Amino acid sequence: MPSTFETSRDLPHAPSEVFAAFAAPERLARWWGPAGFRNSFEVCEFRPGGPWRFTMHGPDGSDYPNEARFEEIVRERKIVIRHTCAPLFTLGIVLTPISTGTRLLWSQVFDDAAFAEAVRHIVLPANEQNLDRLTTELRTPGPITAG
């Protein structure tokens, strides 16, 4: 069974602009997650090995605590995030310059293939919504506000 979900998006922004939307915690908090979610970050140390603890607040009022670690960061090229609480997965983001801006490849690899298959119907649209929210953030970066 597949355990990897990939999607890509061509963005009309330079890799430096896309990278900046990940690198600044206040911006990341604004767009991270599926449609209707918001975030409260406890810690977000955007550096290799840096911890990332946050709560995603669902549109129905449910809270989803998350813990992750930034495994690898190559400025304006690559970000690897390891989700260290259940469900376990690694998310790789690769930024490739193209003539019209940046091609972003989003690759989410779950440790448990059976679990991945069971949540496929949630993960695929959620990842697209996440990239929709990133696209909006890049178009209209808002003021820095507390999450």
Domain boundaries defined on the chain:
4-35+72-139
Residue 8 · residue 103 · CB < 8 Å:
yes
Residue 5 · residue 116 · CB < 8 Å:
yes
Beta-strand ranges (E) seen in the chain are 4-11, 38-44, 50-57, 63-74, 78-83, 89-98, 101-110
Which segments of the chain have a pLDDT < 50? 144-147
Provide the pLDDT for residue 91: 98
Coil, strand or helix at 111: coil
Provide the pLDDT for residue 140: 84
Provide the pLDDT for residue 147: 41
Provide the pLDDT for residue 142: 62
Length of the chain: 147
Residue 39 · residue 55 · CB < 8 Å:
yes
Q: What is the mean pLDDT of the chain?
A: 94
Q: Which CATH superfamily is domain 4-35+72-139 in?
A: START domain (3.30.530.20)
Give the CA distances from residue 55 to residues 37, 49, 62, 127, in Å, rounded to whole numbers and listed in that order.
10, 20, 10, 17
Residue 59 · residue 65 · CB < 8 Å:
no
Provide the pLDDT for residue 34: 96
